[in-house]
Each structure stands twice: as C-alpha cells, then as structure tokens.
Amino acid sequence: MKVLGHRIELLTGLLLHDVTMAGLQELRFPEEKPLLRGQDAAELENSDTFLLAVDTDWKEHDIETPYGLLHVVIRGSPKGNRPAILTYHDVGLNHKLCFNTFFNFEDMQEITKHFVVCHVDAPGQQVGASQFPQGYQFPSMEQLAAMLPSVVQHFGFKYVIGIGVGAGAYVLAKFALIYPDLVEGLVLMNIDPNGKGWIDWAATKLSGLTSTLPDTVLSHLFSQEELVNSTELVQSYRQQIGNVVNQANLQLFWNIYNSRRDLDINRPGTVPNAKTLRCPVMLVVGDNAPAEDGVVECNSKLDPSTTTFLKMADSGGLPQVTQPGKLTEAFKYFLQGMGYIAYLKDRRLSGGAVPSASMTRLARSRTASLTSASSVDGSRPQACTHSESSEGLGQVNHTMEVSC
C-alpha cells in the first residue's frame, strides 16, 4: 500500500510539475459548455437553483463584530491546522446567489469536503434580511475587512483560504493586507483595485437616475454582450436581485463599494516600502467581463512569484456560475501549488475515476522532495514564494499567466 500511495503521490506531483512549468504559456482546460442556454439555464429561473444547498449540514450564525452583526453559514468544524475556505460575495448578491452553483459542482464538493467552508454575507445582504433603520451607516470597505477577524476568532480558525468575487474580492484583499498572518491564499475574481474617479462617480450617479437598481448592478456583474443578448442567466439574476436581496440595504452596499479607495498595493521593487499581498493569489476574470481591466491592473501590482492570472473564455462576468468545472480544476491546481494534494476524480491520471481519499498537505520547505508528504493537520509550512525543486524534476516556476 505504501508503494501504491507513493506512486499516486508522484503522479500527482508530476501533473503539478507539468502545469507549473507552463510558465507564461497558455493552459487549456477541457471545454465545458457555458451555462447560458437550454434546460440548465431555464432552471435558473427557479430560485431554488440558487438558494438550496445540496446538503443540509450548513449552520447559520450571526456574529458580533466591531461594526455590527455578520451573517455567516458554515459547514464542518476546524481540524488541527487545516485552513478554512472563507468566501465573500459581490455587491448585488449574497453567498447563495454568488457561490451555490460553484460549491454544488460535484468536483468542487470532492475538494471542499476536506475543509471547513464558511460563507460570509455582507451586512443586510442575506436572504430575509431586515431593512436597516433610517440613518444607518453602512460599514466602509475597510471596516468590512476589519469585521472578518471576529469570524475567524469565533470559529477558532488558524487561517483561511479566501474566495471572493468583485466587492468581496476587494474586501478579502484588504483583509489580507491588514491581517496577513490569517490568510494562507486568495482566489480573487473580478477584483478592481482602483477607487472610483470623479468621472466614474458621475456616471454611476447618472445610471442610478435612469436605471433601476437591479439593472445598474447587472452592468457591474455581466459583460455587455451578455446584457445585450439578455441571456436567460441575466434575466434570472435580474429577478433574483430584485426579489431576494433587500433593495434599501443593497443600495447602501452599492454606494459604499463605489466610494472605495485604491487598494494601495504595488509590486515589490517598484516603489519604496511597497505593500502587496504576501500569500499566493489566483486572479480570475472572464473574457470581456466588466472587471477585466481592473484584474489585469491588479495582476501588474502583485508579486509575480506568487500570483497566477487566469483569464477564462466563454465565461462572461460570472465564471463561477457559467464555468464551475474550469474554475474547480484551476482551484485544485492552486491548492496543489500551495502544497495540498487532492486525490480526486481525475481521468487524466488513471483513465478513469480515482477513488476519493483525502486532502493532504506536503510539509515542505521551498526546496523539498515530493516524498516528504505529511498530514494536513501538521504544522503550517510556508507557502512556496519563488521556485522549488523536486527530486528529479528540476526548477518549478509558480508564476503563471494562463487563459482557458
């Protein structure tokens, strides 16, 4: 059994080596038809598609923070030093509208069942939220980030792997800048690191006068092509945003997001005392998405030795909804790059399904052998930040700019 386990581990390591050695070359994932037409898209019109989780193990909590209550749902309990996966949704959505399709995807469940998963809803954005009283001051983007340590402390997490979209990606990036020791890795989709200028501010105000709030938010979430074609997905989200999310609370969140400041990050070496994200980061954006320029700029400001940039074709503005399979595969590689090895269903490894066993952690320094595997519950090793060598494999570069 030890020999068999070693062979599986070695094969997994070789696969990771092949991916990471791609460097700046194009990485193609198997094609998956976007969730835009046909029966699946029609089913999105039913709110149950968004709002019901596959399993019933989720527990709801309202957590006290320095800036008010946070609604959180969690599945599982902390185990040793294993990180939790913590998500934060985009403006106009909540954790269900933003992440249910992605986290209910079969291959993603194979990964997440080995972690605690914690979904955070921005104040007043959860399903059934009461309207804030007149004069309520919605927390700033910096304050939203400062609320998250209360969540980490409440559940006893040692550190988290964050997955954020849009406004949620900005919040998680800010959180990682302020509390770097609490964040082991980040997946940031559709992040815009820039504050709004006067022209953008005026355009947003004008849009608010001529369009309904759901339509204004849709222009933030979806590409122009999707909006012009008025796909079933866009129509469904227009209905859900208008009916599921409290509109007064949403307006407050929308206003705060559009008054955000620059994220204040710079690539190391470009300016004195540059601030940047210290953990591994995977940036994700769909082609022609509204946030494409912002994500590209964010990529230019991060450390290239710890950053992966994934531009996804045929995914529109919400890749976690339209292409959950591609995103799951990219997330698996991202975890492997941090030293987590997933024994998952992978036809390319075996010609069939590999029995799901466990998610383990390679306890290794920046240069170590693939045979030095240990339990994920062991001490927390440092993430690889430059390059690492594996026995017989040579140098592996963790910097990738890929498209699929």
Q: What is the 3-state secondary structure (H, E, C) of the chain?
A: CHHHHHHHHHHHHHHHHHHHCCCCCCCCCCCCCCCCCHHHHHHCCCHHHHHCCCCCCCEEEEEEECCEEEEEEEECCCCCCCCEEEEECCCCCCHHHHHHHHHCCHHHHHHHCCCEEEEEECCCCCCCCCCCCCCCCCCCHHHHHHCHHHHHHHHCCCCEEEEEECHHHHHHHHHHHHCHHHEEEEEEECCCCCCCCHHHHHHHHHHHHHCCHHHHHHHHHCCHHHHHHCCHHHHHHHHHHHHHCCHHHHHHHHHHHCCCCCCCCCCECCECCCCCCCCCEEEEEECCCCCHHHHHHHHHHCCCCCEEEEEECCCCCCHHHHCHHHHHHHHHHHHHHCCEEECCCCHHHHCCCCCCCCEEEECCCCCCCCCCEECCCCCCCCCCCCEEEECCCEEEECCEEEEC
- Give the CA count within 13 Å in the CB-facing half-sphere of 331: 27
pLDDT at 241 over 70: yes
Instruction: In whole angstroms, give the CA distance from residue 231 to residue 211.
Output: 19
Answer yes or no: is 354 within a domain.
no
The sheet carrying 281-286 orders its strands as 59-65, 68-75, 116-121, 84-88, 160-165, 183-189, 281-286, 307-312, 400-403
Answer yes or no: is 2 within a domain.
no
pLDDT at 77 over 60: yes
Query: Looking at residue 378, what is its pLDDT?
Result: 40
Q: Which two tokens stand for residue 292?
A: 């494409």
Greatest mean pLDDT range, 21-30, 73-82, 150-159: 150-159
Nearest to 88 by CA among 70, 75, 105, 76: 70
Q: Does residue 179 contact residue 295 with C-beta atoms inside 8 Å? A: no
Nearest to 87 by CA among 79, 76, 98, 78: 98
pLDDT at 59 over 90: yes
Judged by average pLDDT, the poorest of 104-113, 171-180, 339-348 is: 339-348
Query: Looking at residue 202, what is its pLDDT?
Result: 57
For residue 202, report the phi and psi dihedrals to the nearest 5 degrees.
Answer: -65, -40
Answer yes or no: is 359 within a domain.
no
Q: Using only the alpha carbons of the chain, give its radius of gyration.
A: 21
Length of the chain as a residue count = 404
pLDDT at 242 over 90: yes
pLDDT at 286 over 60: yes
pLDDT band at residue 357 under the 50/70/90 scheme: very low
Burial of 127 (0-12, 13-18, 19+ CB in 10 A): middle
Query: Looking at residue 368, what is its pLDDT?
Result: 29
Burial of 286 (0-12, 13-18, 19+ CB in 10 A): buried
Answer yes or no: is 48 within a domain.
no
Mean pLDDT of 390-403: 40
pLDDT at 21 over 80: no
Mean pLDDT of 174-196: 95
Answer yes or no: is 10 within a domain.
no
Judged by average pLDDT, the poorest of 38-52, 236-250, 307-321, 334-348 is: 38-52
pLDDT band at residue 269 under the 50/70/90 scheme: confident
Instruction: In whole angstroms, give the CA distance from residue 89 to residue 73.
Output: 13
The sheet carrying 340-342 orders its strands as 340-342, 359-362, 373-374
Answer yes or no: is 234 within a domain.
no
pLDDT band at residue 91 under the 50/70/90 scheme: very high
Per the prediction, the chain carries an average pLDDT of 77
Mean pLDDT of 88-104: 97
Query: Looking at residue 381, what is its pLDDT?
Result: 43
User: Residue 152 maps to which CATH number?
Assistant: 3.40.50.1820
Answer yes or no: is 393 within a domain.
no
Q: Does residue 165 contact residue 189 with C-beta atoms inside 8 Å? A: yes
Give the residue carrying structure tokens 């954020």: 164
Host domain of residue 113? 58-196+246-338
Answer yes or no: is 235 within a domain.
no
Q: Does residue 252 contact residue 232 with C-beta atoms inside 8 Å? A: no
For the chain, what percent of residues have pLDDT higher than 70? 67
pLDDT at 207 over 50: yes
Query: Looking at residue 7, what is its pLDDT?
Result: 43
pLDDT digits (tens, 9 = 90+) for 300-340: 999 999 999 999 998 899 999 999 999 999 999 999 998 88
Instruction: In whole angstroms, give the CA distance from residue 378 to residue 147.
Output: 28
Domain count for the chain, please give it.
1
